[in-house]
């Protein structure tokens, strides 16, 4: 499989100056030692709960946030290096796009749906000429399931699902190689969610786009992904193909996440206690395994040392002292 | 509690929006009733009507809400005595229910001191007991904290503790776990179930998440366009859904324990509550729609096994229970 | 436009617009409405009460007060527009730089603004006038400088707020340049508080300069300017109050008109469209 994006040892530290006269500096390590790759045409699911750093990771890849350290290689070139000229920056932008969670907030309310897409075309000069642009936008709209009459409507005239389609149209009109999808269906009703997910899969097949699908919903990630990464408090805890991850989840957190995800199967026996106790403890970051206070397989070493990544099986990586 | 023929409408400049359009259900002591629906189904407005906190321009147009022999809608005095005590509600965003400038302790003990006339120390002790009941490990410390120090899960526990403090008989949870992480959501679900087991508290749980309903509710009511379309035990609804909408909804959900090639979708979109169709409100999207469905609205009927459904497919198979 | 409909349903705003229209019409058609040139002195009719010939009477030099009021409207428009242009534009530019780029630039600019803001506008204006000299031009410059901080603050906070919108992020991801993001997305969406401030500044400028004129620090006492007219009337307040009343009412109505419009705009623009 051809690799198209590689992230190596990505870190993001947020520094907050607190205290009187801003003398104290509190560092919050949002993303720690994150490394993964995405292949051409595949969907890599990035799943985790709040505070795990998945959104921050996605935003670093599209250059909305600068990494504190680490590299991001796109087609072999390190794009985290910002000392490039505008032309090459634009070229990279064209190839790595993003779909946002809040379809209403991510559209300028003063622009029509067509104008939102047109802006993308104008920046990169993909298509020029009024007629040609219009035709191109109509074609893209058809791809996402919108009608050409809707090109001149404003965001507030659309439903949530339709607005998300506009966002997708804007992302794919540049013919990018990768799209970072930041919780694209989390804010939608179930019936609409299904439509959008199906549509995204169709588009992927048609244009060969890779997706980094970020979500907190394990069921959705399971459905759409080829491979999956599980994050917790800024660390990648497990990485595997979809089939492997759900057939043989290695990390205790992954297992807990699977158990905690509600199922509509009425015949599944109900547990008598929740899968995970306590809550996230950010003070453990950088000190020991950040999951120590909640893990049901915890042992002494977990409280003393940070675990490192081991490859348990082909392509199946896990960060846990159990698998040293 | 018995809710009979509840109608709550929003009188807007654009017309009358029939958010709740004839809802009937009953709640037994110690029962967890799940109400499921997508946005616009009326589930939130229905329970807000119970507590009579429907925002303007909404108004309860008709109906009866019988609690302990009194109709809360007819008896003007009743709701004041019941709201916040016998019947309490927790919301999706607990941050807005908690006063950001008061400590947790202050907010918890306010009610206790008011109703029981206890001193500050005694009230704090009581508050700690309630906090322990919601599985908070060091309640004394929590009393001194402010809401913004707490995580979402903790805040919901505090809200539940407040309900316990007033000896709530019916707890209404309106999307109470929707904004929480899935592992925290599970903790809260288990907590609620445990409280129900121990205290025989009744719970009405509103959500759009079928999976959560399956985990927590004894019985389930499926709402669509202001009406209950299906109402049965949760097991029956999940295992043998009768209404086409319920079937479609279950098929559209990606499952954590099954493999689906392509997700089933529901064609079309929800009709506007300002202009509901003549017949069945699901007719424009139903794959099994007949002419009769488009012309006449089906009534809720009770099938032999107690399963209630509002659909012409089952015409003649049971007696009408709509009022 | 829904916005206009909502604004016009606010009765006070409509009243404000009505006052402003009178004011603008007077200034626009001054030569047609005024009965005579303000500099004409009818020395036989000094300090006369309102009559058919002199609708609002005459002042101590026999000048027609009505004409003075009408031409004074022109001066007031000049004042409002000038202050908006100089003070408003400079303040807006500073606000944009501070809000858009943040960081050290923001800190430096805001400290300057804070210093300016520490002075009440009139004091600041008087200080400026002491340096620049009296006269309408000086007064306008002084008030413009005093207006800069308020605009800078409001524009900065509007830019900061609008910048946080996710569609700004979306544009960045598309590769849009900073300038285009600022002028095509941030400013148009953040206009509301700026417009409100502009209407309020217009009237505030007129009020302050009238006040300065009253103190003798503003416009030439001989010119048709409401504050100057008030200043002249001071000596005759007890005996011939009409000389002061008319300019006073003119100032009051104009300032009230803009304030009501400004409030109405703020209320209308605040309500989010669903």
Over residues A277-305, the pLDDT tens digits come to: 888 888 999 899 999 999 999 999 999 99
Neighbours of A25 (CB within 10 A): 10
Strands A235-241 and B15-26: unpaired
CB pairs under 8 A between A and B: 119
CB spacing of A261 vs B263 below 8 angstroms? no
Matching residue, tokens 């408090």: A233
Instruction: Tell me the per-residue pLDDT of C245-266, one tens digit each, with 9 for 90 and over.
Output: 888 899 899 999 998 988 888 8
Nearest to C135 by CA among C83, C209, C206: C209
Mean pLDDT of chain C: 86
Q: Which two tokens stand for residue A172?
A: 């794919």
B285-323 residues labelled b (16+ CB within 10 A) or e (exposed): bbeebeeebeeebbbbbbeeeebbbbbbebeeebeeeee
Q: Which of A49, A191, A259 sits opposite B265 (nearest CB)?
A: A191
pLDDT of residue A313: 83
B234 CB within 8 Å of a chain A CB: yes
Query: Which of chain A's residues have a Cβ under 8 Å away from the Cβ of C165?
Result: 105
Neighbours of C1 (CB within 10 A): 6
The residue ranking higher by pLDDT, C150 or A1, is C150
pLDDT of residue A113: 94
A120 CB within 8 Å of a chain C CB: yes
Q: What are residue B185's phi and psi, to 5 degrees?
A: -55, -45
Asked if the model's pLDDT at residue B43 lies above 60, the reply is yes
Confidence band for A253, pLDDT divided at 50, 70 and 90: very high
Asked if the model's pLDDT at residue C274 lies above 50, the reply is no
Mean pLDDT of A244-257: 94
Confidence band for A48, pLDDT divided at 50, 70 and 90: very high
Nearest to A49 by CA among A275, A299, A268, A308: A275
CB pairs under 8 A between A and C: 52
A119 CB within 8 Å of a chain C CB: yes
pLDDT of residue C124: 78
Instruction: Tell me the per-residue pLDDT of C186-205, one tens digit each, with 9 for 90 and over.
Output: 988 888 888 888 988 988 88
Q: What is the CATH number of domain B2-86+167-320?
A: 3.40.50.300
Strands A227-232 and A3-18: unpaired
Q: What is the CATH number of domain C69-270?
A: 1.10.3720.10
* CATH 3.40.50.300 segments of chain A: 3-232
Nearest to B17 by CA among B37, B44, B42, B39: B42
Asked if the model's pLDDT at residue A324 lies above 80, the reply is no
Asked if the model's pLDDT at residue B323 lies above 60, the reply is no
Instruction: Tell me the per-residue pLDDT of C13-41, one tens digit each, with 9 for 90 and over.
Output: 899 999 999 888 888 888 888 888 888 88
Instruction: Tell me the per-residue pLDDT of B4-19, one tens digit each, with 9 for 90 and over.
Output: 999 999 998 888 999 9
Q: Please, which chains are in contact with A (at least 3 CB pairs closer than 8 A)?
A: B, C
CB spacing of A262 vs B215 below 8 angstroms? yes
Asked if the model's pLDDT at residue C273 lies above 50, the reply is no
B and C touching (3 or more beta-carbon pairs closer than 8 Å): no
Query: Which of chain A's residues have a Cβ under 8 Å away from the Cβ of C169?
Result: 64, 100, 106
H or E element: which one contains C91? helix C89-101
Query: What's chain A's Rg over C-alpha atoms?
Result: 21
Rounded CA-CA distance C35/C71 in Å is 11
The alpha carbon of residue C173 is apart from the nearest alpha carbon of chain A, in Å, by 6
Q: Which two tokens stand for residue A321?
A: 């002292």
A272-304 residues labelled b (16+ CB within 10 A) or e (exposed): eebbbeebbeeebbeebbbbbbbbeebeeebee
H or E element: which one contains C130? helix C121-132
Mean pLDDT of A305-318: 91
Confidence band for A211, pLDDT divided at 50, 70 and 90: very high
Instruction: Tell me the per-residue pLDDT of C135-164, one tens digit each, with 9 for 90 and over.
Output: 788 888 888 888 899 899 999 999 999 999
Mean pLDDT of C225-230: 86
Instruction: Tell me the per-residue pLDDT of B116-161, one tens digit each, with 9 for 90 and over.
Output: 778 888 888 889 999 999 998 889 999 999 998 888 899 999 999 9
Query: Which of chain B's residues have a Cβ under 8 Å away from the Cβ of A50?
Result: 152, 181
Query: Which of chain C's residues have a Cβ under 8 Å away from the Cβ of A89?
Result: 175
Helix pair C2-9, C242-270: axis angle to 10 deg = 130
Contact between C243 and C184 under an 8 Å Cβ cutoff? The reply is no
Query: Which of chain B's residues have a Cβ under 8 Å away from the Cβ of A263?
Result: 211, 214-215, 255-257
Instruction: Tell me the per-residue pLDDT of A109-126, one tens digit each, with 9 for 90 and over.
Output: 989 999 999 999 999 988
B249 CB within 8 Å of a chain A CB: yes
pTM above 0.90, yes or no: no
CB spacing of A107 vs C169 below 8 angstroms? no
Neighbours of C173 (CB within 10 A): 23
Matching residue, tokens 């453990």: A284
pLDDT of residue A21: 65
* Boundaries of every domain in chain B: 2-86+167-320
Give the CATH fold of the A3-232 domain.
Answer: Rossmann fold (3.40.50)
CB spacing of A159 vs B211 below 8 angstroms? no
Q: Is the peptide bond before B57 cis (omega within 30 degrees of 0)?
A: yes
pLDDT of residue C9: 82
Residues 6+ apart with CB under 8 A from B13: none
Instruction: Tell me the per-residue pLDDT of A63-122, one tens digit each, with 9 for 90 and over.
Output: 999 999 999 999 888 887 766 677 888 888 899 999 999 999 999 998 999 999 999 999
Asked if the model's pLDDT at residue B39 lies above 50, the reply is yes
Instruction: Tell me the per-residue pLDDT of A6-31, one tens digit each, with 9 for 90 and over.
Output: 999 999 999 887 666 666 778 899 99
B194 CB within 8 Å of a chain A CB: no
Rounded CA-CA distance A61/A56 in Å is 9
Asked if the model's pLDDT at residue B257 lies above 80, the reply is no
């Amino acid at each position: 499989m051809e690799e198209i994006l590689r992230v190596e040892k990505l870190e993001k530290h947020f520094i907050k100056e607190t205290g009187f006269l801003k003398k104290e500096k509190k560092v919050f390590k949002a993303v720690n030692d994150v490394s993964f790759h995405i292949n051409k045409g595949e969907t890599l699911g990035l799943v985790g709960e709040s505070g795990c750093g998945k959104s921050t990771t996605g935003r670093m890849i599209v250059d909305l946030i600068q990494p504190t350290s680490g590299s991001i290689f796109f087609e072999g070139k390190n794009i985290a290096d910002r000392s490039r000229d505008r032309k090459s920056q634009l070229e990279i932008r064209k190839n790595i796009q993003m779909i946002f969670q809040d379809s209403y907030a991510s559209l300028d309310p003063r622009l029509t749906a067509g104008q939102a897409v047109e802006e993308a075309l104008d920046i990169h000069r993909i298509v020029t000429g009024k007629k040609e642009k219009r035709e191109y936008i109509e074609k893209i709209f058809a791809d996402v399931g919108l009608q050409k009459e809707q090109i001149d409507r404003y965001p507030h005239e659309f439903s949530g699902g339709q607005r998300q389609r506009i966002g997708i149209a804007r992302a794919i009109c540049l013919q990018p190689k990768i799209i970072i999808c930041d919780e694209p269906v989390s804010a939608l009703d179930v019936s609409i969610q299904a439509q959008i997910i199906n549509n995204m899969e169709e588009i992927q097949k048609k244009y060969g786009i890779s997706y980094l699908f970020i979500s907190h919903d394990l069921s959705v990630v399971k459905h759409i992904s080829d491979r999956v990464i599980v994050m917790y408090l800024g660390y990648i805890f497990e990485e595997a193909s979809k089939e492997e991850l759900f057939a043989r989840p290695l990390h205790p957190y992954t297992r807990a996440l699977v158990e905690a995800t509600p199922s509509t199967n009425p015949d599944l026996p109900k547990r008598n206690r929740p899968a995970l106790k306590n809550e996230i403890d950010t003070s453990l970051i950088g000190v020991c395994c950040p999951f120590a206070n909640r893990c049901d397989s915890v042992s002494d070493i977990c409280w003393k040392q940070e675990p490192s990544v081991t490859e348990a099986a082909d392509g199946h990586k896990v960060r846990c002292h159990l698998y040293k | 509690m018995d809710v009979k023929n509840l109608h709550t409408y929003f009188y807007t400049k654009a017309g009358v929006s029939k958010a709740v359009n004839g809802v009937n259900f009953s709640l037994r002591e110690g029962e967890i009733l799940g109400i499921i629906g997508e946005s616009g189904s009326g589930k939130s407005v229905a329970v807000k009507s119970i507590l009579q906190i429907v925002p303007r321009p909404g108004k309860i147009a008709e109906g009866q809400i019988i609690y302990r022999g009194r109709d809360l809608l007819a008896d003007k005095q009743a709701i004041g005595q019941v709201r916040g005590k016998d019947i309490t509600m927790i919301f999706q965003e607990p941050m807005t229910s908690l006063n950001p400038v008061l400590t947790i302790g202050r907010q918890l003990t306010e009610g206790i001191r008011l109703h029981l006339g206890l001193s500050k120390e005694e009230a704090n002790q009581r508050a700690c007991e309630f906090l322990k009941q919601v599985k908070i490990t060091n309640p004394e410390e929590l009393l001194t904290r402010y809401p913004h120090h707490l995580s979402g899960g903790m805040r919901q526990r505090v809200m539940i503790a407040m309900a316990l403090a007033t000896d709530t008989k019916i707890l209404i949870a309106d999307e109470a776990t929707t904004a929480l992480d899935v592992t925290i959501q599970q903790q809260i679900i288990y907590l609620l179930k445990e409280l129900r087991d121990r205290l025989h508290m009744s719970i009405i749980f509103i959500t759009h998440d079928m999976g959560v309903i399956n985990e927590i509710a004894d019985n389930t009511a499926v709402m669509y366009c202001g009406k209950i379309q299906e109402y049965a035990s949760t097991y029956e609804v999940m295992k043998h859904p009768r209404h086409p909408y319920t079937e479609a909804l279950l098929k559209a959900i990606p499952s954590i324990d099954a493999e689906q090639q392509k997700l089933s979708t529901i064609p079309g979109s929800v009709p506007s509550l300002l202009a509901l169709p003549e017949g069945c409100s699901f007719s424009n999207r139903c794959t099994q729609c007949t002419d009769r469905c488009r012309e006449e609205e089906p009534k809720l009927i009770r099938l032999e096994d107690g399963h209630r459904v509002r659909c012409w497919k089952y015409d003649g198979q049971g007696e009408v229970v709509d009022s | 436009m829904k916005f206009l409909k909502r604004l016009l349903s606010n009765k006070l705003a409509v009243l404000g617009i009505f006052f402003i229209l009178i004011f603008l019409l007077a200034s626009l058609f001054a030569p047609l409405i005024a009965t005579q040139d303000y500099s004409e002195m009818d020395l036989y009719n000094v300090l006369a009460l309102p009559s058919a010939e002199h609708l609002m009477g005459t002042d101590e030099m026999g000048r027609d007060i009505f004409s003075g009021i009408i031409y004074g409207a022109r001066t007031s428009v000049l004042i409002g527009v000038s202050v908006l242009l100089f003070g408003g534009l400079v303040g807006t530019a500073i606000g944009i730089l501070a809000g858009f780029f943040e960081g050290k630039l923001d800190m430096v600019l805001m400290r300057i603004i804070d210093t300016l803001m520490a002075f009440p506008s009139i004091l600041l204006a008087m200080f400026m006038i002491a340096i620049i000299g009296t006269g309408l031009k000086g007064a306008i410059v002084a008030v413009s400088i005093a207006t800069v901080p308020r605009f800078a603050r409001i524009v900065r906070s509007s830019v900061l707020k609008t910048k946080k919108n996710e569609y700004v992020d979306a544009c960045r991801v598309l590769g849009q340049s900073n300038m285009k993001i600022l002028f095509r997305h941030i400013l148009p969406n953040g206009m509301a508080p700026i417009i409100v401030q502009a209407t309020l500044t217009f009237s505030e400028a007129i009020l302050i300069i009238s006040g300065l004129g009253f103190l003798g620090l503003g416009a030439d006492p001989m010119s048709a300017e409401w504050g100057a007219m008030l200043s002249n009337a001071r000596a005759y307040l007890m005996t011939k109050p009409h000389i002061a009343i008319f300019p006073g009412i003119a100032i009051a109505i104009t300032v009230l008109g803009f304030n009501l419009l400004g409030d109405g705009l703020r209320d209308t623009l605040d309500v989010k469209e669903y």
